[in-house]
Amino acid sequence: GQQLNQSPQSMFIQEGEDVSMNCTSSSIFNTWLWYKQDPGEGPVLLIALYKAGELTSNGRLTAQFGITRKDSFLNISASIPSDVGIYFCAAFGGSQGNLIFGKGTKLSVKP
Amino acid sequence: GAGVSQSPSNKVTEKGKDVELRCDPISGHTALYWYRQSLGQGLEFLIYFQGNSAPDKSGLPSDRFSAERTGGSVSTLTIQRTQQEDSAVYLCASSLIRTGNGYTFGSGTRLTVV
């Protein structure tokens, strides 16, 4: 089946640092999304991307839909303690017809 | 309701017992999805409902798993003869239509099979 390869799996950063994570696939998708999951909660949508090459920001978050439609990245600038959590990439529009998810990037911030 | 509600939030069951997990989607959302999240893993698609019908059951891992949705609203995921490998968080999401965004997730049911 289709898979999203998300990296890194985890990262520890100092507060104030910028963070970057990405997702790649061998399949083409029409929509890329980034979610954040806090402990004990379901994932919450951060950013949605609908067009190849699109660059979208949401506060300190910036995400891009790769021009090949097979990848996406998420950047977080000037990280703060509440950025801690698991970030998932997700994609839609491949042959499976359902939203599929990467395995997540666990972000831990040192205060 | 205002959000997707799942119950119970936690369930501990003995191996071999049956369990039922409930999802109450956002009012008016016609599409409903079940996902499974195992420790350290991403979200694994299980089943999708459009109204009361389930056009895509491709993700159900075995015939011990079944789901139904009644009245285009509440859905129940049933796992029969639970096994330890069924231990996971089961997440439900709903959306207005089947699109790539607009999924609202519930907080999940953490199932532990002992």
CB A47 within 8 A of CB A72: no
B11's enclosing H/E stretch is strand B10-13
Query: Is B33 in Cβ contact with A45 (below 8 Å)?
Result: no
pLDDT, tens digit (0-9, with 9 covering 90-100), for B64-113: 999 999 888 999 999 999 999 999 999 999 988 766 667 899 999 999 99
Cα B75 from Cα B109, distance rounded (Å): 13
Task: Tell me the three state secondary structure of residue B74.
Answer: coil
**DSSP label of B73:** S
Query: Is A48 in Cβ contact with B101 (below 8 Å)?
Result: yes
Residue with more model confidence, A59 or A109: A59
CB A87 within 8 A of CB A74: yes
* Mean pLDDT to the nearest integer, A14-40: 94
Dihedral angle sign, alpha carbons of residues B48, B53, B55, B56: positive
Q: Tell me the residues of chain A between 33 and 72 that have a Cβ less than 8 Å away from chain B.
A: 33, 40-45, 48, 50
Cα B74 from Cα A42, distance rounded (Å): 18
Q: Is A19 on the interface with B (CB under 8 A)?
A: no
CA angle B35, B91, A11 (to 5 degrees): 90
pLDDT exceeds 60 at position A41: yes
pLDDT, tens digit (0-9, with 9 covering 90-100), for A44-60: 999 999 999 999 999 99
- Here the tokens at position A33 are 């999304």
